[in-house]
A and B are shown apart, each in its own frame.
Chain A
């Protein structure tokens, strides 16, 4: 995993960052985004198969209330330093610039127990709530029971 930027030891803040770039996508009507600092490329499913990559379905790591997810326009998200596997995502949208002030932690009752959590916060995009995904934490998580 990439080293995080050097943090201010006194305040725990990232000193030179005022905004982050987010790659947004949707799966089953839920909006997600991942920090582009984590991403190396987005490739087509066919490309991923021809490269013999392990394709991890997003919903095998985070359940959608037991509902089977249909990927309409699937793409494979490749993370930096992950060369053999990618995350299957859907309905890619835009890259947005999110000021740090626009990013919210998840409310306490919704926070994931894993450290770091696979969904770590939320950002408002034109009144829509977009969930922020940590790709590495997602890959590290156990498969949802019964799903492969």
Chain B
């Protein structure tokens, strides 16, 4: 073991191998990672922290509830339990949804609130270094900034990381 770094010879070998495979990217194996669920809405990439995503379901029949606000699409049957389904395009200043074959319902829970959120597709579930999530750009619309934790990259696309708790808060007090 090296007295300077505290790492064993094999750990240093592995670190060197990783650096060589990703010359532009220095990976600190000890860096904190966070799980992201990357999804799309209206051709934009977004993500939730994976810790708050409980399930990803194919789109199923959504039963409309009369009297509910427009962003509540309705309720669904999930193995005998009833879950709500939200359309958050309006919260994010995006155009009205159009149905796609890749639609998914992301079931999320935070701060005691649980609901489904309908998305155009789920692109990936991956672990990223926590440091790769940067503060949102200052020119972001104030209304949208409320929901944004930060931004990161995914396959050369900009991904806006959203706070699902704030999405639910908006839906609760609308």
Q: Which residues of A contact B (CB under 8 A)?
A: 29-31, 59, 62-65, 104, 106-110, 112, 118-119, 122, 124, 127-129, 131
Q: Kindly report which residue of chain A lies nearest to residue B174, judged by CB atoms.
A: A109
A-B contact pairs, 14 of them (CB 8 A): A29-B64, A30-B65, A59-B66, A64-B66, A106-B75, A106-B82, A107-B84, A109-B72, A109-B113, A109-B115, A112-B67, A119-B66, A124-B82, A129-B77
| Min CB–CB distance B85 → chain A (angstroms) | 9
A109 to B80, CA, bound (A): 18
Closest chain B residue to A59, Cβ basis: B66
| A112–B113 alpha-carbon span in the complex (Å) | 16
CA distance in complex: A32, B60 (Å): 20
Whether A107 contacts B83 by the Cβ 8 Å rule is: yes
Question: Are B65 and A63 within 8 A (Cβ)?
Answer: no
Contacts of A107 in B (CB 8 A): 75, 82-84, 114-115
B171 lies within 8 A of chain A by Cβ: yes
Please judge, given known A-B contacts A109-B72, A110-B72, A127-B77, whether A122 and B82 are in contact too, CB under 8 Å: yes
Query: Across the interface, which residues of B come within 8 angstroms of A104, CB to CB?
Result: 81-82
Chain B residues with CB below 8 A from A106, complex form: 65, 75, 82, 84
Interfacial chain B residues near A29, Cβ < 8 Å: 64
Q: Which of B64, B66, B67, B77 contacts A124 (CB 8 A)?
A: B77
B68 neighbours in A (Cβ, 8 Å)? 110
The yes or no answer to B5 lying at the interface (CB within 8 A) is no
Instruction: List residues of chain B with CB within 8 A of the CB of A108.
Output: 84, 113-115, 172
B66 touches A109 (CB 8 A): no
Is B3 positioned at the interface, with any CB of A under 8 Å from its CB? Answer: no
CA distance A41 to B64 in the complex (A): 28
Assess the B81–A110 pair: CB atoms within 8 A: no
Residues from chain A with a CB closer than 8 A to the CB of B83 are 107
Most buried by A among B66, B68, B77, B82: B66
Interface centre among A59, A128, A129, A131 (most CB of B within 10 A): A129
Q: Given A31-B63, A131-B63, 19 more contacts at CB 8 Å?
A: A30-B64, A30-B66, A65-B66, A65-B70, A104-B82, A106-B65, A107-B75, A107-B114, A108-B114, A108-B115, A109-B168, A110-B65, A118-B67, A119-B65, A119-B66, A122-B75, A124-B77, A128-B63, A131-B65
Contacts A30-B64, A59-B66, A62-B67; is A109 near B77 (CB within 8 Å)?
Answer: no
Cα(A29)–Cα(B75), bound, Å: 14
CB proximity to A under 8 Å, residues B7-29: none
Q: What is the CB-to-nearest-CB distance from A106 to chain B, in angstroms, rounded to a whole number?
A: 7
B86: interface (CB < 8 Å): yes
